[in-house]
Structure 1
Amino acid sequence: MEKKQRTCMLLAMLLLVPALVFAQGGKDQAKGSAVTGGDGKPTITFMVTAFYGTELKNEYSDEVIRRYEEHTGIHVDWRWENNDVYKEKLGLVLMDRNNMPMIITGSGEMSANVVDAAKKGAFWDLTPYLADAARFPNLSQYSRDVIKSFTVDGKIIAVYRGRQIGRLGFSYRTDWAEKVGITKAPETIEDVYDMMYKFTYNDPDGNGKNDTYGLELVKYVGPLDIIQTWFGVGNEWVEKDGKLIPVHQTPEFMTALRWMRKMYADGLVRPDWPSVDSGTFGDALRKGQAGIFIDVMDSGKRIWNYYKQNDIRSVVNPDQVATMTLLGPIEGVTLATSGHNGYYLITKDGAKTEQDVINCLTYLDRINDPEMLVLADYGLEGVTYELNADGDIVMYNKLTVAQTPQVGLNQSITYFPYLESPKPHLVKTDSDLAADAAFARNKAVAVFNPALGYLANSSVNAEVGTDIEQIIDDARTQYVCGLIDDAGFAAAAKAWADRGGTRLIAEINQLHQAAKK
């Protein structure tokens, strides 16, 4: 989920301390030699997110470790931290200067406190290293657009984890559409509303009960961001008459809000969606309670795969398994992602020497080679996959992700220049191919955030950005649910401006004009 969540007060306090510490410590780095393992390979320490608790601890994981160490020439001292407490743990780790990892994983966009720490010299400037194509042939192929989000005071201070630009869009349950008489994929906002309405009131599951909703919504508000683009709203910020402004200040935003308010009033989504746990997103489609899913196409594909794995039958043809249509754009547009899903910082308190930095980047570069992508994404031949007569990968799918020998290794991959192994190829299922086609459609029409590169360098955004963004998110939810009217939303927009938004617009446009010059 790409939208930033409210930063808790505890985390803010934790992260402010290391920023002050870094201000004093960043100037005086030790000149000692790089650490080596018992086998003579350089050792790097790497703090990464653990999602399963079995990362590189399963049967045959030792073979995975042997292969990546042999290929990269680097020994990795992994520091796994559970996903549900990762942000809090990050704050604690940053305060422990004597036990600082060389590489720290960040999630989402850079937080205000990370930017502040960067300004105080906490992290290495990677600009000259990433320009060295001979030494780092993979990392040097970063996107100049995406890297703007990780450039602070003209210095690249992080390596991002690449992702599809066109991941976000519109998906729906194909057999439900057939059941209610929709034979053509939606193209317009009116088409979408018609599908939502029929999925809610025309008994798409054929059980004779009024027990379905058109669109699945939970308290994660990413789908609302995507819907807005159909109305010409833009992606968080938009350029009007040469000036960048937040989208909530545009008339198109209010048009989109009124449409979503009607969607809610007409009962096309569950009434309690603002309180539904984000971790359940997708469950309503899996359980046959809703038929439309608006978010990443990957998740639409996973819902389709769930139907296959659990033999969920089509309501119009019981001889077939239910499928999803992974459509993508509506009104010829969709929301672009930031092009990344997190980033890697190389700390000065952890990587004390230039050789340490080179070792870290050597690992991050070589782990992106095609054979390492195969290892991280697909595992071991004869254990998790086999090669067919054409030399392509056929997955066994006998193990859950948590049981695979390679689980966790992909948390250290930047996924550029390749999002997947160019060779050997994975033999793809129908759902894989549909997702790839949707990615391509989305990428061609994805709406970008023109302010991304400036937000990372904005002192005002570092100061108030997360808090004032929440003001608009909360007001949007309240408006959609009919709890406030136009005047109420205008009051929230004024609160946004008064609490730093006006200053933020001014600073973003100063940076924008300077960049133009």
Structure 2
Amino acid sequence: MLDTKWKPKGKSLTVLTTSVMAVSLLLSACVKSKDPESQDAGSDPQVDPSNPYKKHLEITWMGHNAIGKIYGETPMQKLIEEKFNVTIKPVPIDIFNQEQVNLYFADGKTADFIRLNGTLAGMSAIMDQGVFKEIPEETLRKYMPNWMKALEGMVDPKIVKSSMYYDGKLYSVPFFNYAQLQPWVMAIRKDWLDNVGISKMPETMEEYHEVLKRFTYNDPDKNGKNDTYGGHGLQLYLKGAFGIGAPDVNYYADKSGKVSATATTDNYKAYLKVLQSWYKEGLIDPESITDQRPQQRVKWSTGKIGVLADHPWWYASNTVGNLTKMLTDNNPNAKVEFFKPFAGPDGQKATGNIPFPGMQFGFGFGKDTSDEKIQRIMAIKDYFAADDEFWTRVFYGEEGKGYTRTPEGIIQVTPEYQNVDKTVAEGSNQYFALRPDTWEYQKKNIIYKVDMPAYDIAMNSPVVYNTVNFVTTSTNKAAAKSGAAVNTLVREFETNAMTGKLDIDKEWDAFKKKFLEVGGQAIIDEYQKQYDAVNKK
């Protein structure tokens, strides 16, 4: 039977700020401030200095679940409950199911701890419904100093402060981690390259084109059937080769400070023509237009595609359900390698699918959640940020069962805990233990040498950002109003252009005109104001 009593083996990690005396009452008794200017914890009427968790609280918890999984009572939950004198009630909802989430809140339901799958900007519709309780920034900084220090160690504090607000209000604890500093990379079947007679990774768009042709028509899996395509997510490096970010529309400021939409540029038009020609050649799976991530991964794992774009984390050997193991489980002879962004017509090269650094929606509190529950939840989450040992215990499970360490000190997840159903049953991983991890911690404790090639490419590649390439200080209301219509227009135009349903040259001017009319111009104008407000002399 799993021992749910966490027993520290050494000195806890403490990362303290000037306000930590107040926070120490909400952390463990062993964490003490040396700052004489810290506030007197006894001045807080809701906290007993001798026992900060004396009052038992019941907390409803909507955590970061594994895709499609529902959580119940778990051993990791009990660790937290015992340490912080709470009873946690997991909310039975899949946060990745947007329809399920919408219906939950539409019915008037809520939770004390709410983690949803979306950026702060993407959460605007739900925040506008009044689901979340507003948080004073001073409360956040008072009770979560370790969490905030981790964030501001990765991202400029000015960006942290500006991007965590929504229309001037703070509805969530901001979140960011090392993975969000890393763009996606492209994996490739090295065994397929060998089978089709290609000896090196593609370095130009023409060489990439040749790989796709051979992966489609030269029987790369040697099964005697014409049943493969080059890959999925083929556009990642291709867009980078034209200076375009991964989503439908991006708004970039040039060197002179003028903001424009990438979807109306000559580079985007040139990109569409390449995409159309490749589709005509049969190199792009028609189903990729509508495939979602589950369908994409089935095709990767069953050997139907030879190139796949994703974040390096998803290929890492200690990621539960990782893409490498997913493939080799079905084909032990498969070899996965990674290639750098290739050069486009003008020599430009870049990767993407990474937002300009800013704070994602971390977690919020239900509108009816009491202040004492908010403080207790903040204490729990801040302790995860402060104490690596406790975080490791909850995230990976019990040492010797959930993980072991290599002689170099790298955490090695045991085979049993690489199963998603097992981690759900244990309550390990991100459901409770989501925290702002730093790249320094990951390199020291998590990243295996075998996984570094993908991370090295990600960290050393030129990047084109999603949405904008500059700091914004508020929500773009024009984008909130018309962004969906603009994105739909661009997505439909790209799909019809790629599949040859329209003549790009003949329709180009009409497309640009319509883009501006349905809201593109208003969005550009508002982003220009935001850019000028931050960068004016």
TM-score, normalisation: structure 2: 0.75
Equivalent residue number for residue 216 of structure 1: 232
Q: CA separation of 1:356/1:496 partners in 2, compared to 1, >3 Å: closer, same or farther? A: farther
Q: Is the 8 A contact 1:44 1:359 kept in 2?
A: no
Q: How does 1:56-455 map to 2 (within 5 A)?
A: 57=73, 61-62=74-75, 64-71=76-83, 75-83=87-95, 85-90=97-102, 92-93=104-105, 96=108, 100-110=110-120, 114=124, 117=127, 123-132=133-142, 135-142=144-151, 143-144=155-156, 145=159, 148-158=162-172, 159-162=174-177, 163-216=179-232, 223-224=234-235, 226-234=237-245, 236-240=250-254, 241-301=256-316, 302-310=322-330, 312-313=331-332, 321-331=333-343, 332-338=349-355, 343-347=361-365, 349-353=367-371, 355-368=372-385, 369-388=387-406, 392-399=410-417, 400-404=419-423, 405-407=425-427, 409-418=429-438, 425-426=445-446, 428=448, 430=450, 432-442=451-461, 445=463, 447=465, 449-450=467-468, 454=472
User: Secondary structure at the residue paired with 2:119?
Assistant: coil
Q: CA separation of 1:423/1:337 partners in 2, compared to 1, >3 Å: closer, same or farther? A: closer
Q: 1:84 offset after TM fit, Å?
A: 5.5
Structure with more of its chain in strand, by fraction: 1
Q: Is the 8 A contact 1:48 1:80 kept in 2?
A: no
| Deviation digits for residues 32-85 of structure 1 (CA, Å, limit 9, x no counterpart) | 979x9997344443323543545354xxx32x2232345556553322312454
Equivalent residue number for residue 6 of structure 1: none
User: Aligned pair count?
Assistant: 462
Counterpart code for 1:40? K
| Deviation digits for residues 316-359 of structure 1 (CA, Å, limit 9, x no counterpart) | xxxxx321112343334111512689523434623343x44333
Q: CA separation of 1:56/1:423 partners in 2, compared to 1, >3 Å: closer, same or farther? A: farther
Counterpart code for 1:510? K
Q: CA separation of 1:228/1:390 partners in 2, compared to 1, >3 Å: closer, same or farther? A: closer
Equivalent residue number for residue 25 of structure 1: none
Q: 1:245 offset after TM fit, Å?
A: 1.5
Q: Is the 8 A contact 2:216 2:229 kept in 1?
A: yes
Q: Is the 8 A contact 1:196 1:215 kept in 2?
A: yes
| Deviation digits for residues 289-315 of structure 1 (CA, Å, limit 9, x no counterpart) | 2211123234455332234334x24xx
Q: Is the 8 A contact 1:336 1:447 kept in 2?
A: yes
Q: CA separation of 1:71/1:512 partners in 2, compared to 1, >3 Å: closer, same or farther? A: farther
Q: CA separation of 1:421/1:325 partners in 2, compared to 1, >3 Å: closer, same or farther? A: same
User: Hey, what's the Cα distance between the residues in 1 that align with 2:521 and 2:269?
Assistant: 19
Equivalent residue number for residue 55 of structure 2: 40
Counterpart code for 2:166? V
User: Secondary structure at the residue paired with 2:283?
Assistant: coil
Q: CA separation of 1:204/1:85 partners in 2, compared to 1, >3 Å: closer, same or farther? A: closer
Identity score, percent: 19
Q: Is the 8 A contact 1:56 1:406 kept in 2?
A: no
User: Hey, what's the Cα distance between the residues in 1 that align with 2:489 and 2:459?
Assistant: 34
User: Secondary structure at the residue paired with 1:45?
Assistant: strand
User: Hey, what's the Cα distance between the residues in 1 that align with 2:520 and 2:492?
Assistant: 16
Q: CA RMSD in A?
A: 3.6
TM-score, normalisation: structure 1: 0.77
Q: Is the 8 A contact 1:393 1:425 kept in 2?
A: yes
User: Hey, what's the Cα distance between the residues in 2 that align with 1:211 and 1:479?
Assistant: 25
User: Hey, what's the Cα distance between the residues in 1 that align with 2:80 and 2:507?
Assistant: 56
User: Hey, what's the Cα distance between the residues in 2 that align with 1:383 and 1:237?
Assistant: 48
Q: Is the 8 A contact 1:460 1:503 kept in 2?
A: yes
Structure 2: 5+ residue runs without aligned partners? 1-44, 317-321, 344-348
User: Hey, what's the Cα distance between the residues in 1 that align with 2:124 and 2:457?
Assistant: 34
Counterpart check, 1:488 vs 2:504: no
User: Hey, what's the Cα distance between the residues in 1 that align with 2:533 and 2:79?
Assistant: 48
Counterpart code for 1:479? A
Structure 1: 5+ residue runs without aligned partners? 1-31, 218-222, 314-320
Q: Is the 8 A contact 1:160 1:341 kept in 2?
A: yes
User: Hey, what's the Cα distance between the residues in 1 that align with 2:212 and 2:443?
Assistant: 41
Q: CA separation of 1:101/1:344 partners in 2, compared to 1, >3 Å: closer, same or farther? A: farther
Q: CA separation of 1:181/1:341 partners in 2, compared to 1, >3 Å: closer, same or farther? A: farther
User: Hey, what's the Cα distance between the residues in 1 that align with 2:382 and 2:106?
Assistant: 25
Q: 1:195 offset after TM fit, Å?
A: 1.0
Q: Is the 8 A contact 2:132 2:171 kept in 1?
A: no
